[in-house]
Amino acid sequence: MPQLSTRITSLNEGGSDGWEVFYRARAMVAAGRPVTQLTIGEHDIGTDPTILDAMHAAALAGHTGYAMVPGTTALREAIAARVTARTGIDTARENVVVTAGGQAGLFATHMAVCAPGDTALYIDPYYATYPGTIRGASARAVAIETDAADGFLPDPDRIDRIARETGARSLLLNTPNNPTGAIYPPETLQAIARVAQARDLWVISDEVYDTQVWEGTHLSPRALPGMAERTLVIGSMSKSHAMTGSRVGWIVGPRSAVAALIDLSTATTYGVAGFIQDAAAFALAQGEAPEQAVAEPFRRRRARVLDALARQDLVRAIPSQGAMYLMLDIRATGLSGRDFAESLLDAHGIAVMPGESFGRSAAGHVRVALTVEDSRLVEAVNTLCGFAARRAEAA
Ligand code: PMP
């Protein structure tokens, strides 16, 4: 076989993609073993039947051919209206391109702003696909580490220093954050915005969890003064409407950047299925109530898990304000996040993500997705704490 390109062979830098525990848990389920899956951000409900009805009706009405590459007018306008209402920044259809989920938006935005070899910054801990996505766009992925002691909030001075040293082109932010659940406070975002302007960075703002806010408020960096012209916002229907499998999301940004991104869509995905876009437009037209209904179980479960954790002091939850996960500090066991997750899966059939899958900063932590029914989740967390206590004693 002729050689593959280094662009693709170096996606995971020769290492792992970080999903081993998830894959192993999935294989155990396939082999008929009982596993409590607390790994990936997949809702335990399906897409609402009314959205599926809209999808079905759209398909029957003939929306099964090539859809408009930038997105249908109806969906782009619905997204623009949503963004205008939430941020106060005037956003028109021409500021929006529909993408095959947030993931395609992450790739397209890095392709758009980084020439081959340019440096793209991202904050560690990070959503596991980030470094591979950046490398896939032929950019150099440089992580900016954070500290558990600061709730994993990024330090604007550190961003400034690394941006200066590397001559970076872009900075990828994610608030509300996966995996930490942090929502960046306005002061942090304002300071980062000043750095972005001083260092002439594009900010790629991954806001796919903007409907999962448990404390405080979500602020889009695009809404800060001087930022609309250098910010590309990634949005998605996956988390807000339990539409992960539909693969529909968007990028919002300056008109000329969006025009270029539409050319990229023509060259890559050639758009998103019309019946999916019609279903997404229908879903957005229902307003915030259904989004809150989708988010509600995570809010409730988070509170219940925090109650369960409060009954012991070995496993500590990282203070978080949003998203469907909790990050737990298990360093008192003396185990790495990876060893903890692997042995918890073997001993108790409970699958959690090792912190190390999300970067160096999250070593010694595990991420728990709040994606199973309440009592089963609390039982799993209690089992996890008991397991941690035994491992700490044995250490
Ligand atoms: N960003 C973050 C932070 C995520 O957690 C995810 C999915 N888990 C995505 C982007 C991509 O989501 P999708 O492609 O389904 O929109």
Closest CA to 360 of 183, 123, 163, 188: 123
Tell me the average pLDDT of the chain.
96
Asked if 296 and 282 sit in the same domain, the reply is no
138 and 268 fall within a common domain: yes
* 246 CB near ligand 1 (under 6 Å): no
Tokens 């990050």 — which residue? 327
d(CA 124, CA 327) in angstroms, rounded, equals 13
CB 79 within 8 A of CB 235: yes
Pocket probe mutation, ligand 1, options 126, 177, 178, 208, max atoms within 8 Å of Cβ: 208
In this structure, the answer to whether residues 237 and 368 fall within a common structural domain is no
Confidence of residue 374 (pLDDT cuts 50, 70, 90): very high
199 and 312 housed in the same domain = no
In percent, the amount of the chain with pLDDT more than 90 equals 95
Span 152-174, mean pLDDT? Answer: 98
Q: Is the pLDDT of residue 312 over 80?
A: yes
Q: With a 6 A CB cut-off, is 107 part of the ligand 1 pocket?
A: no
User: Domain end: 265, 286, 307, which one?
Assistant: 286
301 shares its domain with 280? no
Distance 39 CA to ligand 1 centre (A): 14
204 pairs with which residues across the strands? 172, 232
Q: Is residue 78, in this structure, part of any structural domain at all? A: yes
Task: Indicate the length of the chain as a whole number.
Answer: 395
Residue 103, ligand 1, Cβ within 6 A = yes
Q: Clarify whether residues 184 and 79 are in a common domain.
A: yes
Number of domains in the chain: 2
Nearest-atom index, ligand 1, CA of 127: 3
Centre of ligand 1 to C-alpha 208, Å, is 6
Are 187 and 322 in a shared domain?
Answer: no
Q: What are phi and psi of 38, to 5 degrees?
A: -120, 35
Task: Measure the CA–CA gap between 371 and 43, rounded to whole angstroms.
Answer: 6
Q: Do 177 and 259 share a structural domain?
A: yes
Instruction: Compute the chain's Rg from CA coordinates.
Output: 21
Helix (H, G, I), strand (E, B) or coil at 173: strand
Same structural domain, 281 and 315: no
Contacts of 310 (CB under 8 A, 6+ apart): none
The verdict on residue 164 lying in a domain is: yes
Residue 52 is assigned to a structural domain of this protein? no
CATH number at residue 389: 3.90.1150.10
Looking at the fold, whether 275 and 295 belong to one and the same domain comes out as no
Specify if 51 maps to a domain: no
Encoding tokens for residue 61?
């009405």
Per-residue pLDDT, averaged over 302-308, amounts to 97
Per-residue pLDDT, 88: 94
Boundaries of domain holding 272: 61-286
- Is ligand 1 within 6 A of the CB of residue 240? no
Pocket mutation for ligand 1, best pick of 183, 204, 239, 248 (most atoms within 8 Å of C-beta):
239
Confidence band for 257, pLDDT divided at 50, 70 and 90 = very high
Return the amino acid letter for 277: Q
What spacing in Å lies between the alpha carbon of 14 and ligand 1's midpoint?
Answer: 23
Domain for residue 353, yes or no?
Answer: yes
Residue 56 within any structural domain of the chain: no
Q: CA 252 to CA 261: how far, in whole Å? A: 10
* Predicted local confidence at residue 13, as pLDDT: 81
Is 41's C-beta closer than 6 angstroms to any atom of ligand 1? yes
Q: Is residue 157 part of a domain?
A: yes
| pLDDT digit string, tens, across residues 133-161 | 999 999 999 999 999 999 999 999 999 99
CATH code, domain with 194: 3.40.640.10
Residue at a domain's end among 260, 286, 312: 286
Q: Which pLDDT score, from 0 to 100, does residue 15 have?
A: 67
Distance CA 294, CA 191 (A): 32
pLDDT of residue 12: 86
Distance (angstroms) between ligand 1 centre and the Cα of 209 equals: 8
pTM equals: 0.97
For residue 13, the CA-to-ligand 1 centroid distance in Å is 21
**Residue 135's pLDDT is what?**
96
53 lies in some domain: no
- Separation of 308 CA from ligand 1 center, angstroms? 28
Q: Are 89 and 83 spatial neighbours (Cβ–Cβ below 8 Å)? A: yes
The Å distance, Cα 239 to ligand 1 centre, comes to 8
pLDDT in tens, 39-61: 998 999 999 999 999 999 999 99
Distance from the alpha carbon of residue 178 to the mean position of ligand 1, in angstroms:
9
Are residues 332 and 367 part of one domain?
yes
Each residue of 368-384: b (16+ CB within 10 Å) or e?
Answer: bbbbbeeeebbebbebb
Domain check: are 267 and 343 in the same one? no
Residue-wise pLDDT tens digits, 273-288: 999 999 999 999 999 9
The closest alpha carbon to 247, from 273, 224, 221, 226, belongs to 273
Give the ligand 1 atom nearest the CA of 40.
8
